[in-house]
């Protein structure tokens, strides 16, 4: 059986790396890895960490590339690879433009598609954009739907997906997390080296989504500024996204503040260990909503909605929205109310136990 895995961005690579490693070590499976390099530098960092060497590298990244350019370049680039390799199944992940284009390219070659992290929905096609439509369209192409949770399965059933083609596996991001977090971890970043994680309460921040650019981001950073000014024992670490618009807003509101550290993006392993040492997380990222609860860290999601309602229902995540006062008040509650903090920190992560990759490989062996 030949299984081709295709991904192109850092988040995909993180979540697919443990699956590729599992495929590589499984007898009876010929594993082929193709990367599109939709994100070049950040992708390479993950490949190096997990010691993966692609069989094919489409290397499509260009400065200021549009979504249409990414889609067309992946479609054209993958066509020859698929014709040459003729895999039994192509595995894609989540909701990136690489994901959708790779699924479409496979369909054009009449090759089965396995969708890892299937069934996430906000039911707003412009939020997140373009991810919501990427995952919906991929779901309509896929033959195997590897869903992290029961709620994801129900979303797919509502869209007419056959139940026999849906498999609840947990999320592969937990598999990856458990491979890289070390309690005695030493940071290389000079700023992080100087932070006293034992006596300070560290809040890790990530904020980068397109729909938060502009006024929403100003509200988010305004709340973070208020927290830093009010709580002297709090240190805030924000590994800033490379997007110039994000950096401009962050520097305007948070630069030169005492105990607020605006640093360059971290590679995957140091970032996961930063989360592990943090008190809680403020984020608009999807993956962090899945990862942080496994580390016992409360998460405030600075978005209007989330495609991960299981975390909200489980109590590991709170939807803070994008209004400054709401974000500030929820943060203040975690800093002043130990009972509220413990309720979130000790809730059970609904996204799995670190064995999702094993389940996916077993399903492929039985079904192909």
Catalytic residues: 95, 117, 131, 208, 210, 241
CA atoms of 57 and 8, how far apart (whole Å): 9
Residue 199, preceding peptide bond in cis (omega within 30° of 0)? no
3-state DSSP of 214-280? CHHHHHHHHHHHHHHHHCCCEEEEEECCCCHHHHHHHHHHHCCCCCEEEECCCCHHHHHHHHHHCCE
Helix (H, G, I), strand (E, B) or coil at 14: helix
**How far from each other are the two terminal CA atoms of the chain, in whole angstroms?**
7
Radius of gyration of the chain (CA): 20
CA separation for the pair 28, 339 (Å, rounded): 51
Of 275, 267, 280, 263, the residue nearest 183 (C-alpha)? 275
> Tokens in use for 85?
């390799």
In angstroms, how far apart are the furthest CA atoms of the chain? 61
Residues contacting 64, CB < 8 A, separation 6+: none
Residue 196, Cβ neighbours under 10 Å: how many?
9
**Among residues 180, 175, 167, 144, which one has the least CA distance to residue 21?**
175
Q: Rounded CA gap, 147 and 154, in Å? A: 10
* DSSP 8-state class, residue 197: T
């Amino acid at each position: 059986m030949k299984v081709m895995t295709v991904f192109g961005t850092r988040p995909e690579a993180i979540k697919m790396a443990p699956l590729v490693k599992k495929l590589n070590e499984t007898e009876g499976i010929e594993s082929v890895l193709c990367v599109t390099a939709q994100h070049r530098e950040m992708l390479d960092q993950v490949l190096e960490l997990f010691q993966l060497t692609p069989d094919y590298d489409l290397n499509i990244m260009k400065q200021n590339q549009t979504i249409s350019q990414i889609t067309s370049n992946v479609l054209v680039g993958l066509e020859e690879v698929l014709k040459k390799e003729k895999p039994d199944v192509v595995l894609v992940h989540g909701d990136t433009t690489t994901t959708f284009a790779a699924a479409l390219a496979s369909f054009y070659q009449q090759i089965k598609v396995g969708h890892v992290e299937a069934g996430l929905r906000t039911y707003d096609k412009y939020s997140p954009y373009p991810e919501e439509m990427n995952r919906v369209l991929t779901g309509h192409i896929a033959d195997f739907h590897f869903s992290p949770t029961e709620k994801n399965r129900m979303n797919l059933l509502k869209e007419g997906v056959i139940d026999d083609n849906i498999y609840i596996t947990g999320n592969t991001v937990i598999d990856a997390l458990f491979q890289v977090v070390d309690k005695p971890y030493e940071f290389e970043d000079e700023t992080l080296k100087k932070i006293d994680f034992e006596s300070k309460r560290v809040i890790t921040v990530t904020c980068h989504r397109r729909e938060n650019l502009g006024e929403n981001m100003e509200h988010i950073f305004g709340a973070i500024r208020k927290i830093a000014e009010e709580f002297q024992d709090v240190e805030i670490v924000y590994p800033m996204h490379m997007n110039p618009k994000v950096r401009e807003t962050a520097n305007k509101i948070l630069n030169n503040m005492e105990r607020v550290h605006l640093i360059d993006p971290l590679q995957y392993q140091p970032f996961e260990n930063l989360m592990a040492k943090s008190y809680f997380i403020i984020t608009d990222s999807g993956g962090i909503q899945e990862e942080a609860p496994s580390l016992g860290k409360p998460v405030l999601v600075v978005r209007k909605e989330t495609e991960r309602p299981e975390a909200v229902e489980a109590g590991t995540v709170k939807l803070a929205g994008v209004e400054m006062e709401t974000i500030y008040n929820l943060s203040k509650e975690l800093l002043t109310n130990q009972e509220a903090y413990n309720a979130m920190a000790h809730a059970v992560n609904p996204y799995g136990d670190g064995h999702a990759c094993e389940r996916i490989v077993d399903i492929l062996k039985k079904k192909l």
